[in-house]
Amino acid sequence: MGRRNFTNLPDFILLGLVDSAETQLGLFLLFLFIYLVTVLGNTAMILIIRLDPQLHTPMYFFLTHLSFLDISYSSVITPKTLQNLVSSDKGISFLGCFTQMSFFVILIAAECYLLSCMAYDRYVAICNPLHYPVIMSPRLCRALLAGCYLIGCVDSTVNAVCMSRLRFCNSNVIHHFFCDLSPILALSCSDTQGIEIMIFILAGSNLVLSLVTISGSYLSILSTILKIHSTAGKRKAFSTCASHLLGVTVFYGTMIFTYLKPKQSYSLGKDQVASVFYTIVIPMLNPLIYSLRNREVKSAALRVLQKAEGSRKLT
């Protein structure tokens, strides 16, 4: 990642969130609990959807991969964060930092577009219910999913090429708890204006394109719902979108706050709070949002548990 003038030092040092040993221990226990809930909750969501045939629909196909992405990008960040909270060695190699950043960009970009695919799925289900099975075919769903991962890989590759041109000659201390774009740019002694513009364009394009898709889908959904005469029908139609809309609001709110601003606006405290939220907390919230507010998932979970209990009694 460029030339650097460090000797006898780790390539980078992740300063972390706090200095107090007591606070670090408290955060370690909190983040460990959140991470375990994240892995267990999203894994349970994947298993329930896979094991229950009634959930083998496009909506839950995308939801399965949303859970997979949540586990993945949380696992890219949280284990190293936990290690740094209880260890005096906070170093990370250039390759390790570069790898963490690249995988994080792939997974976050993929999740942006996956949420767009889920919004489009809801649009077709509510606005074109008779044609839903034909439009949202398994082939289209797989193609949309492949497109999400492909865009993430292209985005990450461009970011990697840009960041590889940076030089670090004054300090190797990253004032953050993981290798994110903004704190590394702030650390570099190179002229980062061109790279900032490129990253801003990429992040802005991803957010704008996905948000336009989501907004267009929900405007059409709202128009269709308003044409429904019965209150029960409106409530049922809206309930199918409420969980996704809540998840989108939480995810995009923190992403826009963090990335769509120039380096001069970088604020350590505010950006760290936002980063903790979307890298550690949101992956835990998604399975709760999509299960607690979803009768089909709760019913499927009961059916899976009943089958498991029946199999256990037979054996």
- CATH classification of the domain holding 85: 1.20.1070.10
Assigned domain for 105 exists:
yes
pLDDT value of residue 79: 93
SS3 176: coil
Quickly state the pLDDT bin for 38 (edges 50, 70, 90).
Answer: very high
Roughly how many angstroms between the first and final C-alpha of the chain, as a whole number?
A: 57
- 53-74 average pLDDT score: 91
How far apart CA 59 and CA 246 sit, in angstroms, is 16
pLDDT value of residue 2: 46
CB neighbour class for 91 (10 Å; exposed up to 12, middle 13-18, buried from 19): middle
The answer to whether the beta carbons of residues 305 and 207 sit under 8 Å apart is no
Q: Reply yes or no on whether the pLDDT at 177 is more than 60.
A: yes
Assigned domain for 6 exists:
no
pLDDT value of residue 270: 62
Assigned domain for 164 exists:
yes
Assigned domain for 288 exists:
yes
Give pLDDT tens digits for 298-311.
Answer: 777 777 777 766 66
Task: State the virtual CA torsion across 299, 301, 307, 311 in degrees, nearest 10.
Answer: -160
Domain membership of residue 250 as a residue range: 12-314
Kindly report the length of the chain.
Answer: 315
pLDDT value of residue 1: 46
Which tokens hold the place of 255? 């992403």
Helix pair 193-226, 231-259: axis angle to 10 deg: 170
Task: Name the nearest CA neighbour of 279 among 268, 288, 289, 271.
Answer: 271
Q: Reply yes or no on whether the pLDDT at 80 is more than 80.
A: yes
- 33-51 average pLDDT score: 92
Q: Reply yes or no on whether the pLDDT at 243 is more than 80.
A: no
Q: Reply yes or no on whether the pLDDT at 73 is more than 60.
A: yes
Task: State the virtual CA torsion across 213, 216, 217, 222 in degrees, nearest 10.
Answer: 160
DSSP β-ladder status, 173-174 and 12-14: parallel
Assigned domain for 5 exists:
no
Count how many domains the chain has: 1
Assigned domain for 257 exists:
yes
Quickly state the pLDDT bin for 5 (edges 50, 70, 90).
Answer: very low
> Over the chain, what is the mean pLDDT?
82
